[in-house]
Structure formats: C-alpha cells, structure tokens
Structure 1
Amino acid sequence: MLGKAKTTKLVVLFCFTSVTILYGWVKKLTDHSQISYKNDVENEKMYIRKGKVVILLSNQRSGSSFVGEFFARFNRGFYLYEPLLPYGTDCDQLNSERLEYLQKISQCDFSTLKSSYRYAYATNHIQSHHECLSAQVCSPPRHKTILQRYSKLCQNFSNHSISQAKPPIVETIKRGPCGLPLNLTIWSSLCHSADIVALKVLRICTVPSLEGIVETLTNYGNEVYVIELVRDPRGIINSALNLELRKPGVDKRLNRICGRFRNNFEFVERERGDKFSTSLISEGRYLRIRYEDIATDPVKGAEKMYKFLNMDLPSEVREWIQMSTASPSEKIEELQAELDNKELTLEELMNSKKKLSQMKKEQRNPYGTVRDSSHVVVKWRKMLNMDIIAQIQKKCGSIMTKLGYKLINSIEERNDLSNQLY
C-alpha cells in the first residue's frame, strides 16, 4: 500500500515537473516569436519612406520621355524611367505582379528586383529588356543624372560602417566599382534621401489599377500624386508609323490607346465616382495634362506640374527646358561659335565640346528629349494622309473631343496650321 502511494506521488511529481518544463519552453518560444515579430515590424518600419511619390502614367509615343525629364533633372529627386519594362505592354499579363513591384520600388525597396525581373522574363520572354536585370536598372542612359549622383555617393562610401545611410540596411559594405550593375543598397539610400520619388509608367493601363498602391503608400504617410499624360492619337500614330508600327497594325494600336483614354476619362469624370476616384480628385492628387500644352509652352507646363505638387519649379529644371526646347539647330550653332572663341579656358572648351556632342546625338535620336517641341505638335498634319486621319477619328473621335482635340474632315483643314486643333 505504501509502495503504491509512493509510486503515485512520483508519477504526480513527474507530470507536474514535465508540465512546468513544457510551459517554460512554450512561453520561451512564444516570447521569442513575439520579439521576432516585433523586430520584423520594426525592420519594416525602417524601410518605409515618407514623402512625395509621383506616378507619371502615359502611353508610348506620347512625349513621356520628355516630360519625365522634368523630374529626372531635379537635383533632389529620384526618377525611374520605365521600371516595369520587363513586364511587357499587355496589362492583363502579370498585372498583380507588376503592381506589387511598383509599390515596392515606390517605397525605395529594391530587394525583389532580381526575382521580379527574372519572373517577368520567364513569362514574357522579352530578352531585349534583359539589360534591366543585368544593370539592375532599365535603360541606364535615361538615368544619366541620377546615376551621376549614385556614382558620387558610391565613391564616398568606405569599408566601415554606413549606418547613417537611409535606410540603414546593412552595417558594412564591400567597396567595388561605382558603375553597373548597381549596388542596390546605395541605390535605395539615394532613393530614400530624395524629396520626390517619380516613376514614369507606361505598363499600367488604367488609373483605377493604382488604387491599392495609392492607398498603401498614403497609409504609410506618403503624398501620392498621379499625373496622366495624354496626347492627340493622330500625333501618337504618326510618331509610331515613323518607327515600328505598320499600317495593318493601326487599328489594334488605336483600340489600346483610346481604350485607355476612355477608361481613365470615365473613371475621373463620372459624377458619382467610387471612393478612390472621389478622394483622388477631392484631395488634388490627380492631374491630367496634354502633351500639346506642354510642348507649346514647356516652362509653363512644368510650372503647372510642380505647382500640382505644391512646389516651385526648380531652377535646374527650368534651365534644362530652356536649353532643350529652343531650336536645337540654333543651340548647336551657338555651341559651335563658343568653340571658335579663342579666349576659352581648356576646361570651358572641353565642356562646350561635350555639350555639342550630346546635343547632336540627342537631336538624331528618335527617343531623345532634345526637340523644338512646338514643331513636334503639328508634325502629324504634315505627314499623315486623310485616310489614316479618318481611320483614327472614326476609332477615337468621341474621346478625342472630350479631351479637347478638334476633328478635321478635309485636306484644307489639315494644312491650315493657323487653326489650332487642341
């Protein structure tokens, strides 16, 4: 009897001890999990950037490269040229993936750049855009201004602590060549320190698609601005026909272009918009701007865009516009005259030669940003025949009228350049 009682006590003691130990383990694991979760949250907060985010939404051949330079030339800005290039032009393909990636880079988070681009390549097989992955930035020549700042910042980093960088992603960094591929830690730091993060996006088809991004970034404390750049479809088609488009493909291209115009116009202009459209408009975070208005008076157009952001037009942007949009031929003549000036120092001479070379190169480039912009606006009227014009107006006439473009029905109307059609 005593033996059984003793055995029972030992069993109870063993069970109690086991439960106590088990409880201690569970509590320790729970506490560790809570600490880990807390650290994850804190780390996530560390990556969050609070500031102005500008999404420049447009179509191909709509002057977005030129308008994008208004942000690229801002010394305290961070501008990305077509970061969604690998995702292709079909917005129905990888739509959620491209939106997710756009949201990340809007917050200066480039941690998924490689995996995102590889996945896009594997799906689309667009090998011509492989440079985005190999350089870790799409179209490096388009990022010349920001890459110069990147290079300078990279050279200032040493092998010791860079904990003061924004964000403090790592404590040490191995010094290497400050060229391509980019060091994404330094790239992210440069992005975080900018007053504006601006992204030129052609591969998001509609404004409503941006709802999730705008909401998330706003909740993080950002001011998100959407600028939709539109252009007369006759000008778009004329430009495309001079490059890659063939006449049999005009209808299909028009369906895409004018379909976007209609969807965005209806979303923004309808009397009873949903919560997103109402807040976007009422809070002054959406701006529709026509390429023709900017091309006619680029400085005024740039001032309007920066006023939309509650900012003054930066002096360096104003100077670039004046340099790039005056008659390129006249500017080339001025620079050539400078080279003939025998009083120039060697440094001044080298700078003038460099500017002249860049100006000539940009003038020849069909994707360039140096143009007599006021002449570009009417170029289609000198090149498109009435059959193509009629085809465009039949497909897009209704939305063109709503956007303020006038339709024409005769060669005489087309050739009368004194009659402004916008």
Structure 2
Amino acid sequence: MSPFFHQFKTIFALLTICMVSVILYCDRYEGTLGLIRNAFPSKPVTLVDWNGEKFWRLQNPPAAPAPSPATTVSTTNTGATEASPKGHKILVLSTVGRSGSSFLGELIAQLPDSLYFFEPMMYNAKATTEGVNARVTWDLLKNIFSCRFDHDWQVFARSRSLVRKKGGRPCAGSRSEGAGACLRELCLNQTNIVVKVIRMRVSWLADLLLQSGPELKVVHLVRDPRATFRSSRMFVQTQKDYTALCPRILETFAYDAHKELFVATSVKYEDLCLDPEGVVTDLWRFLSGARKAALPPAWALYLAEHTDGANKKGNAYSTWRDTRKEAEAWRQEIGESLLLAVEEHCGGAIALLGHNKFRSLAIARNLSIPLRWTKKPLYSLI
C-alpha cells in the first residue's frame, strides 16, 4: 500500500469522525433553530428574509433582560436612550485570543467616522465578581451599540484605552465628570461602531442577533489552533489549556454552519495572511451589501502599511506584520509535545479548516509539505 493511499485513508477517517461529531452536536440542538427555541421555549420563531439575507426572528421578541449591575444604564438625560448611531454596527468575534483579532478589528475600524471598542468585556473579566457570561455580554454589547455606557465601565475603559478612534484616544481631554457625556455624544455622532471581542462564546450570538436584527453584522475570525496555542504559551498564560478550549473551538464550526441564517460571515486568518486584499475586499462587500464594491481607500492604505515585512514591529501584540510569513510561522516555532497534544485534542477543528495534521515535528518543520490538504475546506468561509 502506497504512503499516499495510507495518508488518504487516515485523513478520510479523521474527517468522518470529525463530521460525525459536528453532526451530533448540531442534532443535539436541532441547529440554530433549536438554540433559539431552547432559549425562548414559549415564543414562536420564523425565518425572515431581509434584502436577500435570511435569519431567524422571534415573531414576538421578549423584553430585554434587566441590565446587570456591571452594565446599568443611566437615563438621567430624558430621551437619550432612544437615539442610536445610524451607520454600520460590526462585531468582530474570535473564540480565543492570539488569532489575529486585533489586526482585523483595527483594520475594520479604519473606516471613516468609526468608533472602536477593544475588548470591552475586559471590565467584566477583571473588575467584577460576576465575570463574563451570556447575560452580562448581551447587556454590555447592546448598550455599546446603543451608545449607552455605565460609569464604572467608562472609568475602567478609559484607564485601559478600550475605546479608540483613528488618530487618537477619544475624550482624552475631558475631565472625569464630563467624560461620559463626551463619549456618548461622540458615539452618537459616529457613523460606524466596531467592537472586537475574544471573551464571547459563539453560542451566545443567537439572542444578540435576534434582538439586534440585520443592522448588526458579525465577523467571526478562525485560525489553526496549533498557531493559536503556540502563541498563547508564549504570551497569554491564561489561555494555554487546549483540553478546555479545543471543544469550544470545534463548537464554533458547528454553529458557523448556520451563519447564513444571521447577518454573519467568517474570515480564516491563514487566508487573510496569504491574500489580504482579496479577503478584505470580500469582507467589505459583505459588510456594505454591495457585491462589486471596491476596497475602501482607508483599508487599502492600512493593508499596504501593516502587511509589508519591511514595516514589521517587534511587539508581540503589534498589528504590523509580514503576513505571508505569519500564516505558517508557527511551524518553525512550536514544540513537539504541544504540536502532538493540540493535534490530538483539536483534530476536528484542524480537519474542518482543511489543514494537515503533521504528527511529528520533522514533518511540521518541512515547509515543502503544505499546510492545506484541500483548497476547499469543509468549513465554508466568505
């Protein structure tokens, strides 16, 4: 039996196991519709078409849950809660950190008249006893997209520079007592609100999207788990437990199989690195709704500056990189024990991305062996 045939059988068996796992996961919840019905058992659900986009909608949406203490909104300014920004509302979501979400979030925030919220749930994770869960996440994101901000959150966000605007930090010159009014006014006057998160579970999206409707668009970023955990071991010690995070990563693929029912799409980090202009042009066409739209000038400039290896900066958290090398750089840096462990625990996700499992450090280091075993992964992207 030839080595090629043996490899083919191994890959086929892996994919079969992987797909069965995903099917069982989807079957358990009856897909997206099951998730919604489980969340709102007494509410009828219908499939709605909006400008060619199909998504599940509650026929009689329930009242929004009471805000948590961490995200309570002041309504002293009568009628203020009725106003909201009129442009794009974009949520950039990555299941785990070290997946390129800062690069993608900052890129999208280059759109003119944009306000960028960088990891707003860091407040819940670091400054509250409740931590991050579905309820506080829904509350916080709904408030941000409505330009409503709790005082304690604002103080924390200001100290960590979690609210950003191209060219500087908004309301930096305001006194603490006037910073809230300044931020709300600025938010309402911006065309685009962009939020980037890594602390949100993909399975929490149903409620947020159902209540937000088609005006909120979600960009879900995915990356080869071996690259993610190699980077996490070096820079994010709190995110190195692949035994806990690999099932969560696989969960995102099962959920993303239904993303066409919402206003959501996916970006594969490796594709973004190898073809930044092509992937980002497709992304802009999704966000703008214009099938033949050209790349926005601000995005083209950002890509030209940030993906050129000559401009690469040394900070591990920098958004300046040589993207063509970045796509597979982990293969020269990962240790064998981590490689084998992640391939074992995250094998399903790796296969769905259309990537090879190397099974040895020597094979991983050999760049003549391609990362991808197929040009068309089972996991469909943009």
Q: Same fold (TM over 0.5)?
A: yes
Distance 1:234 1:244 in 2: 14
- Partner in structure 1 of residue 182 of structure 2: 186
The answer as to 2:223 corresponding to 1:228 is no
Larger radius of gyration: 1
SS at match of 2:283: helix
The answer to whether 1:68 aligns with 2:50 is no
Residues in 1 aligned to 2:331 and 2:297: alpha-carbon distance in whole angstroms? 34
Equivalent residue, structure 2, for 1:22: none
CA distance in 2, matches of 1:88, 1:297: 34
Name the CA shift for 1:45/1:242 in 2 (closer, same or farther; >3 Å): closer
Is residue 2:191 matched to residue 1:195?
A: yes
Structure 1 segment 11-410 matched on structure 2, within 5 A: 43=79, 46-58=82-94, 59-88=96-125, 93-110=132-149, 112-114=150-152, 117=153, 133-134=155-156, 136-137=157-158, 139-140=160-161, 143=164, 145=166, 147=168, 150=170, 177-178=173-174, 183-206=179-202, 208-218=203-213, 223-245=215-237, 250=240, 253-269=241-257, 277=258, 280-282=259-261, 285-310=263-288, 312=293, 313-328=295-310, 331=311, 363-410=313-360
- Say which SS state the counterpart of residue 418 (structure 1) adopts: coil
Helix, strand or coil for the counterpart of 2:205? Answer: helix
Tell me the amino acid that sits aligned with residue 193 of structure 1. N
| Paired-residue identity, % | 22
Are residues 379 and 315 of structure 1, via their aligned partners in 2, closer, same or farther at CA, if it must alter by over 3 Å?
same
Amino acid of the residue matched to residue 209 of structure 2?
V
What's the offset of the Cα at 1:408? 0.8
More deviation, 390-399/405-414: 405-414
CA–CA distance in structure 2, aligned partners of residues 138 and 215 of structure 1: 33
Match of 1:143, as an amino acid? R
CA contact (8 A) 1:295 1:373 kept: yes
Structure 1: state its 5+ residue gaps: 1-38, 118-131, 155-176, 270-276, 332-358
**Does the 8 Å CA contact 1:85/1:138 hold for their aligned counterparts?**
no
Residue-pair matches, total: 291
Partner of 2:380: none
What's the CA shift string for 1:349-403, capped at 9, x where partnerless? xxxxxxxxxx7xxx12111111112212222111112222110010010121012
The list of structure 1 runs, each at least 4 consecutive aligned residues, that deviate by more than 3 angstroms after superposition, is 48-51, 89-95, 136-139, 177-182
Aligned pair in 2 of structure 1 residues 288, 315: CA closer, same or farther (>3 Å)? same
Deviation of 1:188 after TM superposition, in Å, equals 2.0
Unaligned runs of 5+ in 2: 1-74, 373-382
Residue 146 (structure 1) shift: 5.9
Q: Which has the larger share of strand?
A: 2
What's the offset of the Cα at 1:52? 2.4
The alpha carbon displacement at 1:133 in A equals: 2.4
Q: Is the 8 A contact 1:72 1:146 kept in 2?
A: no
Alpha-carbon RMSD: 3.1
Alpha-carbon offset, residue 184 of structure 1: 2.4
TM-score normalised to structure 2 length: 0.68
**Residues 91 and 367 from structure 1, CA distance in 2 versus in 1: closer, same or farther, beyond 3 angstroms?**
farther
Q: Which moved more, 1:184-193 or 1:76-85?
A: 184-193
Partner of 2:361: 411
**SS of structure 1 residue aligned to 2:117:** strand
User: Matches of 1:416 and 1:182 in 2, distance apart?
Assistant: 58
Deviation at 1:93, TM superposition (A): 4.6
Are the aligned partners of 2:132 and 2:199 in contact in 1 as well (CA < 8 Å)?
no
Return the alpha-carbon distance in structure 2 between the equivalents of residues 184 and 210 of structure 1. Answer: 28
CA-to-partner distance for each residue in 1:230-277, whole Å, 9 max, x for gaps? 11111011111222439xx84xx21343222222222232xxxxxxx5
Question: CA separation of 1:302/1:256 partners in 2, compared to 1, >3 Å: closer, same or farther?
Answer: farther
What is the distance in 2 between the residues matched to 1:268 and 1:91?
A: 28
